Amino acid sequence: MEQLLFLVVVAVLSILHSWWKKSRGEGEEDTPAPQPGRPQQRPAAQNWEEELRRLLQGDDEPERPAPPPVIARPQRPAAPPPLPAATARRPQPAPPALFVDASAEAEGGLPMQMPTLKQNAQAFLRGNQMEQRVAEHMHGVRHQPAAVAQRASPVVNLAVSLLRDRQSQKAAVLSGIILGPPKALEE
């Protein structure tokens, strides 16, 4: 009931306000001001005869807006004159040759000497024995004690000690569940 009464009071106040504005003549001030770029529109003529007479006599020529002001841009200074040429010119290096004659290089041959047949046979035998030497080396490594690892940083030691403790493991799992993705987004 109070809401209905409030709405009636607001409606009555708005009606009184609009009546008061009309009586003071403020209603005429609501018309928009003419824009500077557009010509003002004259009110329509009372009848078509007056409109025709005004057009034929030339009274109603459209007003042309003033042209926009011309903004002069400052002239940039001309490029400075070129420097006088130096009296002593440096010799220009010859451009690199794009094409090298391969026939001249082929005639001279390569500057190294090819291995002999005996050297090739020795290299082949060394290659065949490589597998046996690697197998012997691996057999010896298998029986050697493991090298002592270098001491880890204190941060790594702390992390390892925390993971060895059962209470810390539980805390890590709970943290992963709490800080992990929401259950609604898991599939």
Q: What is the pLDDT of residues 164-182, one digit of tens each?
A: 889 988 988 898 889 988 8
Place 27 in a pLDDT band, splitting at 50, 70 and 90.
very low
**CA 47/CA 101 separation, integer angstroms:** 100
pLDDT on residue 51: 80
Domain boundaries, the chain: 154-180
Tell me whether residue 96 is exposed, middle or buried, using C-beta atoms within 10 angstroms of its C-beta: 0 to 12, 13 to 18, 19 or more.
Answer: exposed
Instruction: Flag whether the pTM goes above 0.75.
Output: no
Are the beta carbons of 156 and 162 closer than 8 angstroms? no
Cα separation, 54 vs 62, whole angstroms: 12
Kindly report, residue by residue over 36-51, the tens digit of the pLDDT.
Answer: 555 555 555 467 888 8
Q: What is the enclosing helix (H) or strand (E) of 91?
A: none
Quick check: 45 and 51 in contact, CB under 8 A? yes
Determine the Cα–Cα distance for residues 27 and 187; give it in Å rounded to an integer. 66
